[in-house]
Amino acid sequence: MNKVAVIGAGSMGRQIAVHCAIKGLKASLYDMSGEVLSKAQQFSDEYLESRVQKNRLTREESDRARSRLEISSSVEECVSGATVVIEAIIEDFSLKAELFGKLGALCPPPTILASNSSNIVSSRLARVTQGPERVINLHFFNPVLAMDLVEVALHPEVSPEVEHAALKFCREIGRTSVVVRKEVPGFIVNRIFRALTREAMNLLEGGYASAEDIDLAVTRGLGHPMGPFYLMDVAGVDVSYLARLDEYQETGNEASKPNQILEQLYREGRWGKKVGHGFYEYPDADSGGKA
């Protein structure tokens, strides 16, 4: 494994690329926005410097990681010579499908073409890609630089060689992987998270307890590090709402329908910590920034 290409340099893509560079891979990063790419470069420089200041990396290791990270000015340049391509663009199926069509033509097999989507299963993208057996989900968690898990989600056409190579890639970048053998939107973690948040919102809507007390019960009674309402605020109320809506529209399953309170917060722009209001108020939040 020598080069990973990451398309989309937003909050996830930039972290995936920096992490891979720290772990010894050549990493190239592309985004359609030049401004986002400049911010990603700045993020990388500041993060690597902070690791040196905290004695987590030596100056030499940090310099080597910096030299392995390349900012690309086109998709073509970014994916050239890559053995793994990870798509981390916005959660919009038609944009992702268009990109996978292009990647299929640009990248010869056995290059792995992976999506970091939180919800869109890879068979939907494999349908529009040359060589569907190499299209998979590699689902990282935010913040990528701290969260150990990667969900490797397969569809029936994925070849055993691609599965093997994907798991090897996760080991190379020092991440624990779990295999989702049968496709399901939301994979494992987000499905369990959604079940938990759905019940938490049912209790709140039914007037059984306050958001504060439900969060307290889940942290103290179940030992979770954060309660469901605070966690939705941190991850983004918009992200939770849109993922639930997409699943509901795909399956027609009434249980997937977003709770009324979630829809209301979404429509009012109360998208969580990043905007200063969600289930809770965050008076000190940098309004409009990322959580």
Separation CA 4–CA 158 (nearest Å): 19
Task: Give, for 26, the enclosing helix (H) or strand (E).
Answer: strand 26-30
| 33 is a site residue for ligand NAD (CB under 6 A) | yes
Tokens found for residue 79: 């994916």
Tokens found for residue 198: 């759905």
Q: Which residue in 28, 62, 72, 117 binds ligand NAD (CB under 6 A)? A: 117
Give residues with Cβ within 8 angstroms of 47, minimum separation 6: 18, 145
Q: Which residue in 5, 17, 29, 36 binds ligand NAD (CB under 6 A)? A: 36
118: annotated active-site residue: yes
Q: Which residue in 28, 62, 118, 137 binds ligand NAD (CB under 6 A)? A: 118
190: annotated active-site residue: yes
What minimum distance in Å lies between the beta carbon of 244 and ligand NAD? 13
Separation CA 242–CA 283 (nearest Å): 25
Distances (CA, A) of 231 to 157, 182, 201, 219: 35, 27, 13, 11
Candidates 31-39, 103-111, 171-179, 250-258 — which segment interacts with ligand NAD by CB under 6 A?
31-39
177: annotated active-site residue: no
Query: Binders of ligand NAD among 225-244, rule CB under 6 A?
Result: 235
| 91 is a site residue for ligand NAD (CB under 6 A) | yes
Cβ closest to ligand NAD, residue 90 vs residue 179:
90
118, 123, 137, 240: the catalytic one is 118
Which segments within 116-210 are labelled E, that is strand? 135-140, 149-153, 176-180
Eight-state DSSP code of residue 130: S
Cβ closest to ligand NAD, residue 20 vs residue 235:
235
Q: Cβ distance 190 to 118 under 8 Å? A: yes
3-state secondary structure (DSSP) of residue 198: helix
**How many residues sit close enough to ligand NAD to count as binding (CB under 6 A)?**
24
139: annotated active-site residue: yes
Which residues of the chain form contacts with ligand NAD (CB under 6 A)? 7-13, 31-33, 36, 88-91, 95, 99, 116-118, 140-142, 235
Would you name the residues annotated as active-site residues? 118, 139, 151, 190
